C-alpha cells in the first residue's frame, strides 16, 4: 500500500524539513517488509487569497486534486477523533490487508481544511485539541507513520 502525506505549503530548509525527511526515510526503509511504500510527500501551494474562507477553499481544492482517485483519505483536523499510535498502526494494517492501494493523510494550511477536503476524507483524526503549526503537524505525521511501521514490525522504538 502506498502511503502519502498531502499537505498545504512547502517545508522550507531548516530543522522541520530535516526531521520530516528523516522520518520519511525511516518509514520507507521499515515499511517495505510490511507491504508499505512511501510515504510520498506532496506539497500544494498556499493560497494568496485575502479571506481565510477563500484560502481554505482554494487549498482544499488543491489537496483533493493531488489525491489518487481511489485513495483512502485520513484528514488531520482538530474536530477529528483523537487516535493513539497503536490505533493509527492498526488502521494502516487493516487498510493494507483489505487491499487498499493508497492511503493519503491530508494536512491543511494555517487556516485549516475546507469543508470539501473534510468531506473527501474517509475519517478525521486529531493530534489532540491543542493548535499546532501546520509545518509541525507534517513532522508529527511523518513520525507517526514511522512509529506505525515499528509497532507493526514489533520494533522496540515504540514504548507503550
Q: What angle do CA 64, 144, 26 make, to 5 degrees?
A: 100
**Residue 34 marked as a ligand binder:** no
Cβ atoms 135, 33 nearer than 8 A: no
Q: Is 76 annotated among the ligand-binding residues?
A: yes
Distances (CA, A) of 62 to 9, 37, 87, 139: 11, 23, 28, 20
From CA 6, how far away is CA 4, in angstroms rounded? 6
Annotated binding site: 76, 108
Q: Which residues are documented as binding site for S-adenosyl-L-methionine?
A: 76, 108
Amino acid at each position: 500500500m502506498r502511503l502519502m502525506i498531502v499537505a498545504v505549503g512547502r517545508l522550507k530548509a531548516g530543522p522541520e524539513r530535516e526531521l520530516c525527511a528523516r522520518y520519511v526515510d525511516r518509514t520507507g526503509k521499515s515499511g517495505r517488509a510490511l507491504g508499505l511504500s512511501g510515504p510520498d510527500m506532496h506539497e500544494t501551494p498556499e493560497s494568496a487569497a485575502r479571506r481565510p474562507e477563500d484560502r481554505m477553499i482554494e487549498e482544499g481544492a488543491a489537496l483533493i486534486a493531488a489525491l489518487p482517485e481511489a485513495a483512502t483519505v485520513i484528514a488531520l483536523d482538530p474536530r477529528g477523533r483523537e487516535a493513539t499510535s497503536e490505533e493509527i498502526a492498526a488502521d494502516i494494517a487493516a487498510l493494507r490487508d483489505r487491499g487498499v492501494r493508497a492511503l493519503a493523510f491530508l494536512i491543511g494550511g494555517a487556516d485549516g481544511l475546507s469543508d470539501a477536503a473534510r468531506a473527501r476524507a474517509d475519517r478525521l483524526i486529531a493530534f489532540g485539541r491543542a493548535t499546532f503549526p501546520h509545518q509541525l503537524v507534517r513532522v508529527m505525521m511523518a513520525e507517526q507513520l514511522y512509529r506505525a511501521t515499528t509497532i507493526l514490525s514489533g520494533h522496540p522504538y515504540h514504548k507503550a
